[in-house]
Amino acid sequence: MTARSKLPASYLQTGSSSFTEFLSAHSPDLVPGSRTLPVAAVDVPHGTTIVAVAYAGGVLLAGDRRATMGNLIANNEMLKVFAADDFSAVGIAGTAGTAIEMVRLFQVELEHYEKIEGTRLSLVGKANRLATMIRGNLGMAMQGLSVVPLFAGFDSGRGAGRIFSYDVTGGCYEEHDFHSVGSGSLFARGALKKLWRRELSQDDAVRVTIEALYDAADDDSATGGPDLGRRIWPTVAIVDGEGTRFVTDDELAAVVAQVLESRREIGGTR
Amino acid sequence: MSMPFYVSPEQLMKDRADYARKGIARGRSVVVLAYDGGIAFVAENPSRALHKVSEIYDRIAFAAVGKYNEFENLRVAGIRYADLRGYSYDRSDVTARGLANAYAQTLGTVFTQESKPYEVEIVVAQVDEDPQDDQIYRLTYDGSVGDEQGFVAMGGGAEDITSGLQEHWRPGMDLGTALRLAVQLLGESPGGGDARVLSAGQLEVAVLDRARERRKFRRIENSLLTALLSPDDPTSDVPHTEDQPGA
């Protein structure tokens, strides 16, 4: 890949508009999940709770900022929610290193297709591409390096947000209304069952998401709550007809303050 | 056994060059020109699906004339080159210069070694924060590279269009003025006959817009293109406030 040489023959081959397929043929060492590993457990950082919430006209995808390694906190400001392209976002729970590599590849995959074909993949098409990548990681998952994403995007045909969850074998399932993955997901989902309503406004959806992550952090040691001292807030991505964007720190600080205030008022939930 | 006729290398190269030049001259032209907010690409191309102008990477775009299957092949290779480089290093490590080099080597090898040369001419352009650092590279069928300043014309009427640009193009033109100049020159027929007036539907127009976030490439179509081409309309640049992401 030196700048002075001509393009290798595989670049000029006609065929797939998938970057992953090109990468597997041209530089298989760069594909996550394609490495052979010794059979031994390794202690690596794990990301934790991701929450997706549908609302009127779009969908939110949010995650806490903690990564744990055994009983230690490996990182307290890790980003686990990413814009996959202009109309979708992906959040990841599981082995942080593999997961972030997979998200980077997924982002390139979507943009690559868009540039070559001159049109975007459909939302379900994107969800299926992600499933293929997770499936390719099965060997590593069986050795403890699993990655479980949550994918949310705006379906322009339906004018609504949609949520897709995955298992380690690459099974892709469409979820309705809300979903959560990761170690704190049981608590987050429990909170969402009580808080989610049909046709939530965007602001209410942000509030509900923060509440769910707060409850997850309350009961799961691997999920980080909002850190008032360092001003570290959860990552919240909004995906709607306008595109994908992230809620700013100032807006999140205000929502977190509201949530804490209302909990103090009811005498501090235990 | 019969001996093949001796053909001198000079004659061989000249024949190949003539062949490629003839193929390129048959096609309609493409103009690439700098304006105050970036670089504009204007092609006479009635097709909405078969593009002559395309996005390569964040700051880099591609324009071509000649044989479609050949430049399409190079376009896809360029996107693969850029995406692989950006994926294995960093997005900022993908440069038009690197890509132009790779294209030059490839075109040069095909010109001397394959049974027929590529009948294509390519522009690879890149915008930067500072307009002084913008780059426009022109690559021809034999792999020669030119580092162009301000504007390039390729295809059938390239010579006439280039002399028109030399006369009328100025640095710092707004987008509307630059597009009207390009479209007027594309419409003037090479033989000096009646000039055609090209409408928005016959044109493929795109820009590398310095003001955009990460992906600078944007196609300009329909009503926006009509407004930019009309001298009476006040629109002189792409809108930046209600920008559709990735549109």
Mean pLDDT of all residues in A234-247? 96
Amino acid at position A201, single letter:
S
List of chain A residues whose C-beta atoms are within 8 Å of the C-beta of residue B97: 3
Mutate to test the interface with A, among B58, B87, B113 (most CBs of A within 10 A): B87
What is the predicted ipTM? 0.90
Do B76 and A5 lie within an 8 Å CB cutoff? no
Q: What's the pLDDT score for residue B191?
A: 60
Contact A175, A73 (CB under 8 A): no
**Is B35 domain-assigned?**
yes
Mean pLDDT of all residues in A142-147? 85
Q: Phi/psi zone of residue A76: left (φ > 0), alpha (ψ -120 to 50 degrees), beta?
A: alpha
**Is A132 domain-assigned?**
yes
Q: How far is CA A92 from CA A35, A234, B152, in A?
A: 20, 14, 46
Q: Which residue has the higher pLDDT, A248 or A21?
A: A248
**Is B74 domain-assigned?**
yes
Total structural domains within chain A: 1
The chain A residues in contact with chain B (CB within 8 A) are: 1, 3-7, 11-12, 14, 19, 22-23, 26-27, 30, 85-87, 104-105, 108, 111-112, 114-116, 118, 120, 242-244
Mean pLDDT of chain A: 91
**Is A64 domain-assigned?**
yes
Mean pLDDT of all residues in A234-257? 96
Mean pLDDT of all residues in A64-86? 93
**Is A17 domain-assigned?**
no
Mean pLDDT of all residues in B209-213? 93
Nearest by CB to B83, which of A1, A19, A244? A19
**Is B108 domain-assigned?**
yes
Q: What's the pLDDT score for residue B167?
A: 95
Chain B residue with the nearest C-alpha to that of A18: B80
Q: Tell me the pLDDT band of A269, cut-offs 50, 70 and 90.
A: low
Q: Tell me the pLDDT band of B189, cut-offs 50, 70 and 90.
A: low
Do B108 and A243 lie within an 8 Å CB cutoff? no
Q: How far is CA A94 from CA A40, A149, A234, in A?
A: 17, 8, 17
**Is A8 domain-assigned?**
no
Q: What's the pLDDT score for residue B246?
A: 42
Coil, helix or strand at residue A59: strand
Do B88 and A22 lie within an 8 Å CB cutoff? no
Q: What's the pLDDT score for residue B195?
A: 81
B247, pLDDT greater than 60: no
**Is A239 domain-assigned?**
yes
Q: Phi/psi zone of residue A163: left (φ > 0), alpha (ψ -120 to 50 degrees), beta?
A: beta
**Is B218 domain-assigned?**
yes
**Is A10 domain-assigned?**
no
Alpha carbons A182 and B75: distance in angstroms, whole number: 41
Residue A260: phi, psi to the nearest 5? Answer: -65, -40
Q: What's the pLDDT score for residue A142?
A: 83
DSSP string, B34-55: EETTEEEEEEE---SSS-SEEE
Q: Tell me the pLDDT band of A196, cut-offs 50, 70 and 90.
A: very high
Do A115 and B79 lie within an 8 Å CB cutoff? yes
CATH number at residue A62: 3.60.20.10
B48, pLDDT greater than 80: yes
Mean pLDDT of all residues in B213-238? 90
Total structural domains within chain B: 1
Least confident of A111-120, A193-202, B194-203: B194-203
Chain B residue with the nearest C-alpha to that of A9: B77
B1, pLDDT greater than 70: no
Q: What angle do the packed helices A185-195 and A202-219 form, to 10 degrees?
A: 140
Q: What angle do the packed helices B96-113 and B9-26 form, to 10 degrees?
A: 120
What's the domain range around A126?
44-265
Which two three-digit tokens encode residue B217? 């490439």
Q: How far is CA B239 from CA B37, B57, B204, B224, in A?
A: 12, 21, 18, 9
Do B109 and A6 lie within an 8 Å CB cutoff? yes
Q: Tell me the pLDDT band of A3, cut-offs 50, 70 and 90.
A: very low
Least confident of B39-48, B75-84, B186-195: B186-195
CATH number at residue B122: 3.60.20.10
A223, pLDDT greater than 80: yes
The chain B residues in contact with chain A (CB within 8 A) are: 49, 51, 54-56, 73-74, 76-77, 79-81, 83-88, 97-98, 101-103, 105-106, 108-109, 244-246
A2, pLDDT greater than 50: no
**CB-based burial of residue B242 (10 Å sphere; 0-12 exposed, 13-18 middle, 19+ buried)?**
exposed
Q: What percent of chain B has pLDDT over 90?
A: 75
Q: What's the pLDDT score for residue B244?
A: 47
**Strand partners for A52:** A61, A179
Mean pLDDT of all residues in A172-190? 95
**Is B230 domain-assigned?**
no
**Is A23 domain-assigned?**
no
Mean pLDDT of all residues in A169-184? 95
Q: What's the pLDDT score for residue B21?
A: 92
Q: Tell me the pLDDT band of B231, cut-offs 50, 70 and 90.
A: confident
Contact A162, A123 (CB under 8 A): yes
List of chain B residues whose C-beta atoms are within 8 Å of the C-beta of residue A19: 80, 83, 87
What's the domain range around B198?
30-225
Mean pLDDT of all residues in A229-238? 96
Mean pLDDT of all residues in A132-150? 89
Chain A residue with the nearest C-alpha to that of B80: A11
Q: What's the pLDDT score for residue A233?
A: 96
The secondary structure element, H or E, covering residue B18 is: helix B9-26
**Is A37 domain-assigned?**
no
Q: What's the pLDDT score for residue A139?
A: 85
- The pTM assigned to this predicted structure is 0.91
Do A86 and B246 lie within an 8 Å CB cutoff? yes
